[in-house]
């Protein structure tokens, strides 16, 4: 007995000519989860103890989310075009704007968020790594929500699996062979487990920059592992065959290295005073 992919209509409901897709709903859920967790973060140290002009407020969260959404959309789309199909989009540049056809990259979205928070920290006169440490634990559950959208769409399925694997699943668009439900693996690893670890670690109030470093290393590691069970994009199978690593794994390597270097740098750095004067 092999599990069959549950045929789920990607359209959740329609309002006249407007079709609301489940994938779009999962993005809204992700942003809602960020707001909920960010409001909880305001009660945690060091943010609850910061006084003066540098004190954190709910308005900061709203502005941070707005800039982050822009970073996710723009960075995620450009990252997909540059990392996964550079030749195609170089020949068809107008297709870059056709976001309704799909194609988003986590690593590109992450770079977009990083740049958006540079602007936020500068405009609010807040230390950059203090901002990123605030953001990092609030992100993983949103990533988990996105993987639910991938599963509903029946996309980003896994590699071939042993039919005896209890949770092996047949994805109709991928042929009759059972496969790993890699979207579920990523939901659990890069989403739920990463959130639990970062949330606990952040509550220990480590040095400024180390929560961000933990995110880079942990996400990079979990994504690297999950990629062994995820089917590489068809046009990038040559990379996996020639190097033994998928594009997603190659993008995770500098991410993990950067996280280790950031953690060491933060460990040696002089702690910042909490009270802004």
List residues forming the annotated binding site.
147
Whether residue 27 contacts residue 65, with contact meaning beta carbons closer than 8 Å, is answered with no
Residue with tokens 């959404």: 69
Q: Which residues pair with 13 in a beta bridge?
A: 20
Whether residue 219 contacts residue 186, with contact meaning beta carbons closer than 8 Å, is answered with no
Query: Which DSSP letter does residue 189 get?
Result: I
Q: Which residues pair with 19 in a beta bridge?
A: 14
Q: Which of 65, 136, 147, 66 is nearest to 104 (CA)?
A: 147
40: tokens are 């909880």
28, 69, 143, 190, 212 from 62: Cα distances, Å: 14, 11, 19, 24, 20
Whether residue 122 contacts residue 21, with contact meaning beta carbons closer than 8 Å, is answered with no
CA distance 63 to 119: 11
Q: Which of 29, 10, 1, 3 is nearest to 179 (CA)?
A: 3
């Amino acid at each position: 007995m092999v599990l069959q992919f549950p045929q789920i209509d990607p359209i959740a409901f329609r309002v006249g000519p407007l079709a609301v897709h489940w994938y779009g709903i999962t993005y809204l859920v992700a942003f809602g989860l960020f707001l909920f967790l960010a409001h909880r973060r305001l009660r945690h140290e060091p943010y609850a103890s910061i006084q003066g002009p540098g004190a954190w407020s709910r308005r900061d969260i709203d502005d941070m989310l707005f800039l982050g959404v822009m970073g996710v959309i723009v960075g995620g789309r450009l990252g997909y075009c540059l990392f996964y199909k550079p030749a195609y989009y170089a020949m068809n540049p107008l297709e870059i704007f056709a976001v309704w056809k799909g194609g988003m990259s986590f690593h590109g979205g992450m770079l977009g968020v990083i740049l958006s928070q540079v602007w936020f920290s500068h405009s609010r006169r807040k230390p950059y790594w203090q901002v990123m440490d605030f953001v990092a634990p609030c992100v993983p559950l949103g990533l988990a929500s996105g993987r639910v959208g991938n599963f509903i769409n029946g996309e980003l399925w896994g590699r071939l699996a042993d039919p005896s694997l209890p949770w092996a699943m047949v994805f109709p668009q991928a042929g009759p062979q059972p496969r790993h439900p890699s979207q579920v693996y990523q939901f659990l690893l890069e989403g739920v487990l990463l959130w639990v670890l970062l949330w606990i670690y952040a509550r220990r109030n480590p040095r400024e920059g180390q929560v961000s470093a933990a995110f880079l290393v942990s996400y990079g590691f979990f994504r690297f592992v999950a990629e062994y069970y995820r089917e590489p994009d068809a046009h990038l199978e040559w990379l996996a065959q020639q190097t033994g690593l998928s594009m997603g794994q190659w993008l995770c390597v500098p991410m993990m290295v950067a996280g280790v270097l950031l953690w060491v740098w933060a460990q040696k750095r002089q702690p910042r005073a909490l009270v802004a004067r």
